[in-house]
Structure 1
Amino acid sequence: MAPISLTFPDGNAREYDAGITPAGVAESISKSLFKKAISATVDGEHWDLQWPINADAKIAIHTMADEDQANELVRHDLAHIMARAVQEIWPDTKVTIGPVIKDGWYYDFERAESFTPEDLGAIEKKMREIINKREPVRTEVWARDVAIKYYEDRNEPYKVELIEGIPGDEPLRMYWHGDWQDLCRGPHLQHTGQVPGDSFKLMSIAGAYWRGDSDRAMLQRIYGVAFTGKEKLRAHLNMLEEAAKRDHRKLRREMDLVHMQEEAPGQIFWHPNGWSIYTQLQDYMRRKQHADGYVEVNTPQVVNRKLWEDSGHWQNYQDHMFIVEVDEEHAREKTVNALKPMNCPCHVQIFNTGMKSYRDLPLRMAEFGSCNRYEPSGALHGIMRVRGFTQDDGHIFCTEDQIVDETAKFINFLASVYADLGFNDWTIKLSTRPEKRIGSEESWDRVEKALGDACNAAGYEYELLPGEGAFYGPKLEFTLTDAIGREWQCGTLQVDPNLPDRLDASYVGADGGKHRPYMLHRATLGSFERFIGILIEEHAGKLPFWLAPRQVVVASIISDANDYVHDVVEQLRAKGIRAEADLRNEKINYKVREHSVGKVPVILAVGAREVEDRTLSVRRLGEKQTSVQALDDVVRDLATNATPPDLRDA
């Protein structure tokens, strides 16, 4: 065979015969690498060690130390091993698909009986037996008709349908884990023993329609998680346990924040405690935006379809819009409107009123804009994924020359807000031009550079996401990391020359001519609903004192202390503190326990001694010890902590 040249990550190249496999390449380097190798990257694609290389290429050999590749392979192999285990225990079960997902995998099965939680233990045991056999994993390429006959003979109709639905006529790759076979693109490990047997766990069982179609068969889906070491698995399970404690859906009930019901799917009923958080956060954002030079506006909820057609949303976003049809009183003709799914077209309408000059730019416009978007019922998730929500939306109308300064200014604004709310760990990602886009390459070059320069000017590094921008412009995504390591993409800034053009926005330049402004779409928190859910989970319900809906409960120990309790509550309320009295004829330990479950930050207990000495017994949430302090000192300290962070230096 003709020789080929393979270039390694260090820049060195070697010649091999065409058809050599990555396993052969690893063996040619060292026996140690050959034993440790699990896969390769060939010209940027993840390859199985068994696949032949027939042309010059760049190659990197991977071992278990390469965590991204190792996790993918371990999870992919476990999906096959789990499916094999299920069919060995219950031979009549039919298999469908089993992809790798974040932190693990799932596999969908058709089985007459329902899987039970107890079955997961039996499946795990069988999986470890398969792993311990250390059986080889091998691959072959089959013609499609051969693959279809193979599955027809074994009564596996889902595999037949999958093959018939694959476009093209290229042969298909098959994988064996021991004697068990599956249709799969690969890559995979080289034998079952390479899977760490102590680093996975089956987590749950769920229903799933075949192909996601509610008219098709309901299958049973088993989820698993896996890592390259048992310590990583243990850390992940601990994180899940902590996440369950912090779940805002649990805490919203304990704190009496909101509820949701079938009559308003995806909509929130805010209770007084929840609405207190909402309004405190909104007031804070209003002050911050005003101080940063924004003008606040408010735009209609229902807008005629013509605006959505002009903006392009009707053509591209209609499936997510709530359509409102009404009969005009006199004409008796249907008028088609839509609840607004976003605020940007309406903001352009305000910009378009009156003549704008270059001297008016940049114009920073903000709205706490209530939006409605249709989300499938299966995608709804507490208050974090809803159909009705409010964005801290903003649009900056500016010239191209102002993009760098305005973007840097927004980054610093966002950093200040996140710091005030307790988030100091966040990153920036710059999404660049997608394959399908409008505008010249020179324009994209300038605007992408402007966003990168703005990050540098603000003093922040950024990660590139090539091809992830919108068709009309690049964007910055701001992703914060919470207390247990989860990432949340909240803030965004997106450059848009398209919408001002579609909606005929213009300003008079210094040259006296008409020019199109650039529009910077920006949000700091995103939706209030989602961000409040993130805040609740970040703080496990123990919100910063200034945000807590119930800040102080003054609880009597004896009924003779009731008058003093009322006096304390009045003094606290006079300082703007959200205080309430608990005069119930209950033991103080019962009151403390109940209010602690409700995440009240401070409980002030009052008995005979406190009445006599004008003191208070202070218990703070999460602390076992109490302290006795003078009333005036407590009021002064709590008033200071109740002040929102942006007002503390005012």
Structure 2
Amino acid sequence: GPHLSSTGEVKYFCLLSTSASYWRGDENRESMQRIYGISFPEKEQLDEYLKFLEEARERDHRTLGPKLDLFSLHPEFGSGLIYWHPKGAIIRKIIEDFWKDVHLKNGYQIIYTPHIADISLWEISGHTGFYKENMFAPMEMEARAFQLKPMNCPFHILIYNTKLRSYRDLPIRWAELGTVYRYEKQGVLHGLLRVRGFTQDDAHIFCTEEQIEEEVINVLELVSFFLGKFGFTDYKIFLSTRPEKYVGSPDGWAKATTALENALKKKNMDYETDPGEGVFYGPKIDIKITDCLKREWQCSTIQVDFNIPERFHLKYTDKDGSFKTPILIHRAILGSIERFFGVLIEHYKGNFPFWLAPEQIRILPISERHIPYAENVMNNLSQYFRVQVDRRNEKVNRKIREAEEEKVPYMLIIGDKEEKSGKLALRKHGEGMLGTFTPDEVIQKLKELVVDR
């Protein structure tokens, strides 16, 4: 410093928080107190920022997740590891089933691979040389060293190499919801957004050099489709180029970068260049989605790889009978299930779209004598929706209040009047009563919310 020539330049400010800090970051030095604050030239700007912070706190997935019984963390038994509760797990299943269905319809095949492998696999792939600091320590077993996988790609490559491929087989598109493990530093772990064990919505495309642009275009279209279905239509695109530490030739990197640029231009997608931020084996496209608070989140990535196929001696027979090395495209659309789920929680403030809600309808019988009819209604509706009956001996107002707090999208209230008329009192979360409807009318009304997910 100083950062300002005079404290008189500081206008409207607010102190935000404090934390302990070691002198020069050395834990063997003196402990000091760090004070965080913010300053703006206009009071309105400060007020707007403080309002943003309050809204962000209310949306924090680390608070909403446990409150809504979606997930928990148990750092005393391992930091950065997620425990999915039944409600969170059903949302995850819905996302994964949707993901698989769409991929199968778009020419992908689903595969599954192990969680560990002999460390020699990672030596061939180059991960031990370029990524070791992010990998868990190897496990010594049977006089061999086994490594938890930080990536899925070497496993997909091994499957490719189980037989000789022809140019007629390409492109090959293999998709996997593969769990990987990365040793993130303790200080950067953050709820679902930065973890040590997570499931990537991974896919690898083996293709010829001539097929790269078309395949990347197809992936870009798939990204737009998926993000749109989950409510994200505003995002920024970055093209990341060769870093200081890399494998392969500059010529190969130039070809891969050009292929990505051409695909973006053909789709008329605006992008920014992010120099030196590519992964060690190739350039990439990163897509950052913008949530309702205008915060950016890294999710989708597309990477063209001319290097790893050569390291594993991948081949295919070309039209003239010669052997050629295929191009490998790495891609993830959601990024990881954990991170994307955290973003969804904060974007929707826990008020998930109807098709994603873990409990779509809760039936609230006013008294115990209404439970049999409520269960008949549940049996009818559960053919189409995720429905529960609140059988507790509690006042109906309390049942309503708790269903609202748990962000259940719709409630059906059943008393003497409803049972006698054969109708249901329908209430919507956050809005109140919508009126009375027959069970068939409720089914028709709510089915419209899931038909175009």
- The aligned residue for residue 606 of structure 1 is 414
Alpha-carbon offset, residue 189 of structure 1 = 5.0
**Counterpart in the other structure of 2:225:** 416
Does 2:39 match 1:226?
A: yes
Contact 2:306/2:328, CA 8 A, preserved across alignment: yes
Match of 2:72 among 239, 259, 263: 259
Residue 579 of structure 1: which of 384, 387, 404 is its match? 387
Is 1:240–2:53 an aligned residue pair? yes
Contact 2:425 2:433 in 1 (8 A): no
Q: Secondary structure of 1:511's partner?
A: coil
CA distance in 2, matches of 1:550, 1:642: 14
Aligned letter for 2:89? W
Q: Which residue of 2 aligns with 1:431?
A: 240
Corresponding residue for 1:178? none
Aligned pair 1:303/2:111, yes or no? no
- State the SS of the aligned residue for 2:132: helix
1:588-635 per-residue CA deviation (whole Å, 9 max, x = no partner) reads 110011111111111111111111111111111111344222221002
| Aligned 8 A contact 1:481 1:488 in 2 | yes
User: Contact conserved, 2:425 with 2:437, CA < 8 A, in 1?
Assistant: yes
Q: Go from structure 1 to structure 2 and tell me whether the alpha carbon gap of 1:514 and 1:492 turns closer, same or farther (over 3 Å shift).
A: same
541-550 vs 447-456, which deviates more?
447-456
- Identify the residue that residue 324 of structure 2 maps to in structure 1: 515
Q: Deviations over 1:407-459 (max 9, x none)?
A: 11100000000000000111211112335545555444333222111112223
Report the Cα offset of residue 208 of structure 1: 2.0
2:441 maps to what in 1?
633
Contact 1:254-1:597 at 8 Å conserved across structures: no
| 8 Å CA contact 1:495, 1:521 repeated in 2 | yes
What letter corresponds to residue 545 of structure 1 in structure 2?
A: F
Rounded Cα–Cα distance in structure 2 between residues aligned with 1:233 and 1:396: 48
Q: Note the C-alpha offset of 1:324.
A: 4.4
Q: How does 1:201-600 map to 2 (within 5 A)?
A: 201-261=14-74, 262-328=76-142, 334-575=143-384, 577-600=385-408
Letter in 2 for 1:412: E
Query: Which residues of 2 match residues 110-189 of structure 1 at below 5 A?
Result: 175=2, 188=3
3-state DSSP class of the match of 2:333? strand
Structure-1 separation of matches of 2:396 and 2:278: 58
Say which one has the larger Rg. Answer: 1
**More relative contact order, 1 or 2 (CA 8 Å, 6+ apart):** 2
SS of match in other structure, 1:365: strand
Contact 2:204–2:329 under 8 Å retained in 1: yes
SS at 1:476 equivalent: strand
| Contact map agreement 1:606 1:617 (CA 8 A) in 2 | yes
Counterpart-to-counterpart distance in 1, 2:245 and 2:114: 32
Contact 2:130-2:280 at 8 Å conserved across structures: no
Q: Which whole-Å CA distance do the structure 2 matches of 1:624 and 1:543 have between them?
A: 17
Structure 1, unaligned runs of 5 or more: 1-79, 81-174, 176-187, 329-333, 646-650
- Alignment correspondent of 1:114: none
| Deviation sequence 1:192-222 (CA, Å, 0-9, x none) | 43x2411x32210011233333333322111
SS at match of 2:11: coil
Q: Secondary structure at the match of 2:448?
A: helix
Aligned partners of 1:442, 1:371: CA distance in 2, in Å? 31
Shift in Å, 1:230: 2.9
Separation (CA, whole Å) in 1 of partners of 2:80 and 2:277: 28
Give the TM-score taking structure 2 as reference length. 0.95
The letter for the 2-side match of 1:214 is: E
> For residues 631 and 367 of structure 1, what CA distance do their matches in structure 2 show?
40
* Aligned-partner Cα distance in 2 for 1:429–1:389: 24
- Tell me by how many angstroms 1:644 deviates: 6.4
Q: Deviations over 1:447-505 (max 9, x none)?
A: 32221111122231111122322344211000100011110010001111111111111
Counterparts of 1:469 and 1:419, CA distance in 2: 26
Q: Distance in 2 between matches of 1:427 and 1:414?
A: 12
Judge conservation of contact 1:196–1:229 (CA < 8 Å) in 2.
Answer: no
CA offset digits 1:239-296 (Å, max 9, x no partner)? 1111111111111122111112111322122111010011110001001111111111
TM-superposition CA deviations, 1:354-384 (whole Å, max 9, x none): 0011111111111100111112222221122
Write the distance in 2 (CA, Å) between the matches of 1:437 and 1:228: 44
Where 1:519 maps in the other structure, the secondary structure is strand
- Relative distance call for 1:433 and 1:313 in structure 2 (3 A) is closer
Report the TM-score when normalising by structure 1.
Answer: 0.67
Contact 2:242 2:279 in 1 (8 A): yes
Structure 1 residues 320, 467: CA separation in 2 closer, same or farther (over 3 Å shift)?
closer
Which range is displaced more, 305-314 or 510-519?
510-519
Native 8 Å contact 1:596 1:621 kept in 2: yes
Structure 2: which amino acid aligns with 1:607?
G
CA RMSD for the aligned pairs? Answer: 1.8
What amino acid sits opposite 1:238 in the alignment? Answer: K
CA distance 1:434–1:378, change in 2 (3 Å): closer
Quickly say closer, same or farther: Cα 1:212–1:508, change in 2 above 3 A.
Answer: farther
Tell me the amino acid that sits aligned with residue 363 of structure 1: I
Q: Identify if the C-alpha distance between structure 1 residues 471 and 258 changes in structure 2 by more than 3 Å, giving closer, same or farther.
A: closer
Measure, in 2, the Cα distance between the counterparts of 1:634 and 1:421.
24
Structure 2: gaps of 5 or more residues: none
SS of 1:526's equivalent in the other structure is: coil
